[in-house]
Structure 1
Amino acid sequence: MSLFPTYNRFPLTIVSGSGTTVTDDEGKDYLDFVSGIAVCNLGHRPPEVQRAIQQQLDQVWHVSNLYQIPLQEKAADKLTEGNNLDHVFFCNSGAEANEAAIKLARKHTGKEKIITFKQSFHGRTFATMSATGQEKIQQGFGTLLPTFEYLPYNDVDAVKQIEDDEVAAIMVEVIQGEGGVVPGTAAFLQAIQEKCRNIGALLIIDEVQTGIGRTGARFAYEHHQLDPDIVTSAKGLGSGFPVGAMLGKADHKEAFSAGSHGTTFGGNPLASAAVNATLETIFSTEFLEDVQQKGERLQGKLREELGDLNVVKEIRGQGLMVGIELDVEAIQIIHTLREKGLLAVLAGPKVVRLLPPLNVSEEEISEAVKILAAVLQEQDQMQNA
């Protein structure tokens, strides 16, 4: 094989998908509660997005950002409508969006230090790897960028003790995804915002995994009435088409003037077509309310079926972003679920993460919980034997 072995791949080759169902090369169907890791928020091959991309394929694919791209401007308007953010920079991924956020914060404030949190994940470029509060992501790459400091997540006192006017920004996930599906408390998130205002730092919210409807709001910060200076997005933004975005306030515009930052592919006509079609559906009030209701039902069913099992320590999350923390290593559970026809993903060594499409049906939720319950009940019996 000519690929670098950078992934521990499962023995599964998916050859087709529609909605919440994917099919492997042997003809077996699976319920996909991974969604490309919170990417296929409208399921696989959503018709409205497929039509938009196909229509653009028949016109022009790429022109570069040297020229006007009306679809890109339309997508930016959708992302900034109804919030306090004014401008958008389109790129290709979440890591690139966070890289842009770090650059913007440093240039706008003239300061270098950025505070992030332990167990956070912000990407794998050198800056975003340095921002990530997980040693396993950083090992082997030598000296990291020295301008990041990591505080404990959900520690209000640690935030209140920040007394440093050299901080350019505090960067936080509303729910730590790769860190275990750990929701930030309202008190913690409000303390960060207040501290940013007091010390003249920018509030950067990483919504790469939590945004685009995943928690039942356009962005997860909206659940807490926060007012971020910068928001980053990717994953679900293009329904599987590679695209990322950084959103910022009007007074940051001059820091990203012509020539200060750039990208070859970011926000090209194909990506912009995917974004517009995706947001047209997900950013509707009715759709987001439906996500909230489905999330409540999913967690309710999980607690009903799994709550009495010794192997299950906690069920947590928001909307259709759910983590099941176990008292055993979760990787074998993930393998067994796959064998039974349900795809799930890890969020740390002991957390099973569920990220179904946002338009998952009630029947599919029930079937997924049934499979999970059977597998975890068997694990519970083995431990108690």
Structure 2
Amino acid sequence: MSAETLFHIYSYEVKRPSRPLDEPFNRGCREPDVLAPRENAVIVMLARNRERQGAVQSIKSLEKQFNRWFHYPIIFLNDDPWEEAFINDLTKIASGNVTFEQIPKGMWGFPEWMDHDLARQGMKRQEDEGVLYGGLESYHHMCRFNSGLFFDVPALKPYKWYWRVEPDVEFICAIPYDPFVAMAKHKKKYGFTVALLELRQTVPTLFRKVTDYKAKHKIPSTNLWNTMINPSWLPQPFRPLMSRLGNRDASGDAWNLCHFWSNFEIADMDWFRTQEYRDFFEYLDLDGGFYFERWGDAPIHSLAAAMFLKAEELHHFEDIGYVHHPFQSCPKNKLGAQMAFSKTFGAGYWDKEVSSGIGCRCACNPRPTLPDLVCIDRIKQVFR
């Protein structure tokens, strides 16, 4: 391997910071401060009427582990009118104010400029090629909506912070503090629990489009951006030939496919509302990849965060236990900090306590999937 190639690879090395940039907000159990001021925040769920039982499961779990102490409002979004059964069931179990909103027609569907027939042909091709959800028109609409439109829904406009919750998820640790307050205090803008490898078939040209935009606007690479890159091992002048293989930039360097799984997000909507982010989304939207391919909101948010945010503006919620099958985040319980006789949490005995643990009454098997380990370990290098 030539010296030039070694230097090129070294230029993408993720350098560990001189001081920790992201520590857990909480370690073990503590009494929730129910009288503390709240942030301007909302819990958001995008769901369908047929997902009523899954929505009930998720909100019951969130109430048990968090919201029964903090009572944040919840907004449910649907592209169809809500059925009374959904409204009644979810209103009964939520401790905060509950709102059921229908997404405005202009936010859900094909962009105005797009040829619908061509888009549907593209989706049919994806279905034939076995792309996961590639043939589901509603799924493409959902990815586009979550990538660049949700934060402009009128019901969400008054809020700064949001916590995205999906149907059919489970929170498996007590959350005895306010994550919104912690995010604001530590000047964070985007928080995640799980990081995964994206399915290559869904995004064959996305990374090239993103890096072309990055180059055109002269956006400098950062240590955070480098966590997303696998540099090419070929020497110049052959390196750019690798760009033909897909998921590579014009210089032949590859996206490692790691991304933050957006099924769980706690983030600052004002960041998404910046002109910088809006311009980026509009560029991608005009390309058509939300339909001609199956670009998901998770890689869009992740690559945007890596491109526009500082490492210290991200937060890994490693203390929050979260399950959305088949993936999970499962913290170990902090030794001696489970408050076994607490009136707040109820009496009980909790195993899997270790001195390095940070969880509060987590009930799960701490065995993350291999893609999660690979991507989390890669991304955490930038923090400490």
Larger relative contact order, structure 1 or 2 (CA cutoff 8 Å, min sep 6) = 2
TM over 0.5: no
User: Of Structure 1 and Structure 2, which has the larger fraction of its residues in strand?
Assistant: 1
Normalising by structure 2, we get a TM-score of 0.27
